[in-house]
Structure 1
Amino acid sequence: MLYGLLDKPLGRGLRYDPDTEIPDLNGKIIVVTGGNAGLGKETILRLSKHNPKRIYLLVRNQNKSEAAIKDIQSIVPNAPISFIQCDLTDLKSVESAVRDFTSKEQRLDMLYLNAGIMATPAGLTKDGYEIQFGTNHVGHALLTKLLLPTLSRTAEEPGSDVRVICLSSIGHAAALFTGICFDKLKTEMSWTPTMVRYAQSKLANILFARELARRYPKILCVSVHPGAVNTELYRSMLSGWMSSFNFSKQLLETIESGAKNQLWAGTANREDITNGEYYTPVAMSGGGSWKSQDMALASKLWEWTEKELEGYAAPTALP
């Protein structure tokens, strides 16, 4: 089933040119996880061209982050980008990153939950979660939880337009029958194929976005599939298990094309976007599996996640 979905580029929706269609971002504060390469780096580059107040790049490796910032600023001189160290596999690091951010800013207009890992060997995060689920969902869920007071406060301001964009994948369909194995999330799940483990994390991204939108309707929250994009994640996968399929690298979308869906979700007219929806490229709704539309499962995931993260609290707001 998943092979059929991935055997051709996905998405022939809205024609979208970020250079001409992203509006002026004057005054906007933006956070992007995983922005030192691939889709995150391209997203920061494109947003930087439209006058944001500041973009914060949250990644684990400072040297790679500084190299990415230098690359972007070679194209957009004086692009207002700052690095904050954040390791999504370590919840204490996430907590520290939020503390760092809130010591600098009192508002947040756009949060891109962009970072992720794919088709990795079995393993655990530093906090004991299955490595893909812990990185792709749990780390991002804590980041969002701790930033929610800032997001909500910004959303109350006149004329505000606060958004959370979750990077998911059509690969979530591989969890159609397994769903989310709540009782196994604190194991390596080594008996489960790596792409199924990846799929449940990407299913969680969609469900998390739906439930966040339901609980916090003043915040526009959507999940997006970028397409099958020629990033490091896909190249790594293709050199491994996908090499047994007749899947050509020539079928992959470029990074420039792959970033369009999340750029559209972050900057298009708010009335053109349905809160909580999952979009395939570009701006195409209704493409998720039936499991990704299960609001009872979304609520169960939210409650499970809240229980796991109950020991963490947002830092005190600046005066």
Structure 2
Amino acid sequence: MFTPNKDIPDLSGKVYLVTGGNSGIGKETVLQLAKHNPQNIFLAARDQKKGEDAIADLKKAVPNASITFLPLDLSSLKSVYDAAETVKSTSQRLDVLVNNAGIMATAAGLTKDGYEIQFGTNYMGHALLVRNLMPLLKKTAAMPGTDVRVVALTSDAHAQAPKGGIVFDGALKTTMESTMTFTRYGQSKLANILHIRELAKRDTEPRITYVTLHPGLVSTNLQSDFMKNHRYLGAVLGGARSILFKSVEQGALTSLWAATSPGVKSGKYYVPVGKENAGSNYSQDPKLAKRLYDWTEDEFSRLGY
């Protein structure tokens, strides 16, 4: 059993970035990393007050922790671009990027750049973040004795993606209101897996480890918001929540394992805790992964990123 206090090594000199680090699994990830003496942790969040409040709370537990708030709204590619530029201009290295933030089964809508809200936030935002931080990640990977990683939280719900996996026929730039919200969520999580696997496939020296993971059913604000938005299902799940859902502390274990443990294999998908899982058939489709990667690069180029 992975135990953070015992199994996370000394992190002296290392720099981490955790998206959505102000609450839930993200905050717990920052907390446990902070206990092991990293040089700095960027806590990325959309809301500055919530981010700074989270840092104040974390420093009560780890007074000497170096934690820096990073403004990041994943639904805005401009915000993502600015966040990456801030990191590159203020840090000489980045050892591990943990793409933790996300939204789930929300009402139909569009991001600021015109993408289906869940796809744009969960996938496009993180894809641009990885892309724009790549020079710093590669610079760090070239340093002696480093072990640079990109860890992306996804979900077993990726298996609920629509027929074909990713809808490329223009629907990604609509609200996809006629498609069930959980199907749209599954599509965004499938995209995370495909993208990370394609990055792992394309990786060259100096090497970076790319992994995706399912944290399990965890009692977080994400699930609370989902149950508020889906009252009938929320009522059904609410009564069984303490049985079905893990605590945040348990839910963060796979993220922490993937970010710090030896033996993590690039391109793999993991379930709690640290167990390899094949994922859905679509998630293993190399042609779909390449198509998504190429489509994404074309979109970023079209938008000037």
Please report how far the alpha carbon of residue 215 of structure 1 lies from its aligned counterpart in structure 2 after TM superposition.
Answer: 1.1
Equivalent residue number for residue 192 of structure 1? 179
**Cα distance change of structure 1 residues 249 and 303 upon mapping to structure 2, 3 Å threshold:** same
Q: Secondary structure at the match of 1:185?
A: helix
- Which structure 2 residue ranges, 5 or more long, are not aligned? none
Q: Secondary structure at the match of 1:182?
A: coil
Match of 1:207 among 164, 170, 194: 194
Q: Secondary structure at the match of 1:309?
A: helix
Please report how far the alpha carbon of residue 83 of structure 1 lies from its aligned counterpart in structure 2 after TM superposition.
Answer: 0.6
Equivalent residue number for residue 221 of structure 1? 210
Match of 2:272 among 281, 304, 307: 281
The whole-number CA distance in structure 2 between the counterparts of 1:94 and 1:246 is: 34
Equivalent residue number for residue 301 of structure 1? 292
When the two chains are superposed, the root-mean-square deviation of aligned CA atoms in Å is: 1.3
Equivalent residue number for residue 161 of structure 1? 147
Q: Secondary structure at the match of 2:173?
A: coil
Contact 1:169–1:202 (CA<8 Å) still a contact in 2? yes
Match of 1:291 among 242, 262, 282: 282
Residue type at the aligned position of 2:241:
K
Q: Secondary structure at the match of 2:69?
A: strand
Equivalent residue number for residue 73 of structure 1? 59
Query: Are 1:145 and 2:131 counterparts?
Result: yes
Contact 1:211–1:298 (CA<8 Å) still a contact in 2? yes
Please report how far the alpha carbon of residue 201 of structure 1 lies from its aligned counterpart in structure 2 after TM superposition.
Answer: 0.2
Please report how far the alpha carbon of residue 233 of structure 1 lies from its aligned counterpart in structure 2 after TM superposition.
Answer: 0.8
- Which structure 1 residue ranges, 5 or more long, are not aligned? 1-14, 314-319
* Structure 1 segments (4+ residues) deviating >6 Å: none
Matches within 5 A, 1:1-319: 15-175=1-161, 177-183=163-169, 184-217=171-204, 218-239=207-228, 240=230, 242-243=233-234, 245=236, 248-250=240-242, 251-269=244-262, 272-310=263-301, 311-313=303-305
**TM-score after normalising by structure 1:** 0.90
The whole-number CA distance in structure 1 between the counterparts of 2:80 and 2:35 is: 28
Bigger RCO of structures 1 and 2 (CA < 8 A, at least 6 apart): 1
**TM-score after normalising by structure 2:** 0.94
Contact 1:43–1:263 (CA<8 Å) still a contact in 2? yes
Residue type at the aligned position of 1:249:
R
Equivalent residue number for residue 9 of structure 1? none
Contact 1:53–1:80 (CA<8 Å) still a contact in 2? yes
**Cα distance change of structure 1 residues 49 and 187 upon mapping to structure 2, 3 Å threshold:** same
Residue type at the aligned position of 1:252:
F
> For this pair of structures, how many residues does the alignment match?
297
Q: Secondary structure at the match of 2:150?
A: strand
**Cα distance change of structure 1 residues 176 and 288 upon mapping to structure 2, 3 Å threshold:** farther
The whole-number CA distance in structure 2 between the counterparts of 1:182 and 1:134 is: 13
**Residues 164-193 of structure 1, C-alpha deviations (whole Å, 9 max, x = no match):** 000000111111634111221000000000
Q: Secondary structure at the match of 1:74?
A: helix
